Amino acid sequence: MNKKPSIKFKRAAVVGVGLIGSSLARALRERDVAETVIGVDQDEDILARAKKIGVIDHGFSSLDEGVKGADLIILSTPVGALAEICRKVSDCAEDGALIIDVGSVKGVVLDAAKALPDRIFFVPCHPVAGTEQSGPEAGFASLFEKRWCIITPLERNDAPYLEAVKQATGLWTAIGAEVEVMDAAHHDLALAVTSHIPHLIAFTMVGAADDIESVAHGEVVKYSAGGFRDFTRIAASDPVMWRDVFLNNREAVLEVLGRFSEELAVMQRAIRWGDADVLYNAFSRGRSLRRAIVDAGQETAAPNFGRDEPHDSGEES
């Protein structure tokens, strides 16, 4: 039996009913964190599907109508759309409303938040969870359980805003997530390492495989080994979302990409000169990191291929 949540909202408006948005809507309902869940999306077909499967109570294609009366507004759209959405929300959100986002880039979110008046409270959030799937049908309430949600508060120290940060923390805790507060710039660098560059490598590797003319496309599919399968799974993520991630986190991505290029050059040199020690040490370091991730509960040691549960491949942001 689920215990009574420590926080509850009367009306939650989810702007963008994709994987993360629909998962949040399901979690809010399942954990009794919101009395009414509203979906807001420009695509009326998505709203109809979300309502049909019980993810939302009502759906609106108009942002003004959708957030009316909401004491919780969740912005679950590609980060490139946040600036425009914040400008619109600044006029139509209710006084005292808590606004959170789910984007995997936070610097651009802080810039977007400058359009919001002090009467509403924007607390930038990033749930580090997701799959390569998209759409309202792909969501599930347990997506955030035992996953980290990083909160990067605005530079506001007034008592009402600090209370809003507590509210946001309580929301994520109520749906099973672990919460950590972090500086936005540090967040963007950390996620460039753990998420953005791995996705860029996956997209690039899949593209390279498709471009090697001496290997037939059918052979790439037929003989696909576990590592390449993982690349294709990650590369199946929403292209609009990832386009916006790289355009809005370019400084951190380029810094980490430079470091990766240096490491790649070391590996290339070791292979060329047959330096077994360099290769062994690099591979051992990777194996140790994998064990640390499993020990931390962020992954299971079970064989990956054919696993039934959804793959945790990336964030829809």
Same domain, 125 and 171: yes
Same domain, 139 and 194: no
How many separate domains does the chain show?
Answer: 2
Q: Residue 230: which domain range?
A: 186-295
Q: Among candidates 139, 120, 141, which has minimal Cα distance to 131?
A: 139
Same domain, 207 and 272: yes
Same domain, 202 and 214: yes
Tokens 């610097």 — which residue? 107
Same domain, 171 and 226: no
d(CA 118, CA 297): 39
Same domain, 226 and 269: yes
Q: Among candidates 77, 75, 29, which has minimal Cα distance to 51?
A: 29
Share of the chain above pLDDT 90, in %: 62
- Please, are residues 36 and 28 in contact by the beta-carbon 8 Å criterion? no
Per-residue pLDDT averaged across 192-196, rounded?
A: 91
Residue 39, H or E segment: strand 34-40
Which residues are within 8 A (CB) of 178 and not within 5 positions of it... i.e. 6 or more apart?
146, 147, 148, 149
- Summarize the chain as % helix, strand, coil (round to 5): 55, 10, 35
The answer as to whether 253 is a domain residue is: yes
pLDDT digits 0-9 by tens, 120-177? 999 999 999 877 677 888 888 899 999 999 999 999 999 999 999 999 999 999 999 9
Same domain, 139 and 199: no
Same domain, 175 and 223: no
pLDDT digits 0-9 by tens, 28-76? 999 999 999 999 999 999 999 999 999 999 999 999 999 999 999 999 9
Q: Among candidates 116, 102, 108, 112, which has minimal Cα distance to 171?
A: 102
Same domain, 147 and 223: no
Same domain, 64 and 157: yes
150 to each of 49, 103, 308, how far by Cα in Å?
Answer: 30, 10, 28
CB atoms under 10 Å from CB of 110, counted, come to 16
By DSSP bridging, strand 148-151 and strand 58-60 are unpaired
Same domain, 178 and 191: no
CATH number at residue 267: 1.10.3660.10
CATH number at residue 77: 3.40.50.720
* Tokens matching residue 6: 């420590």
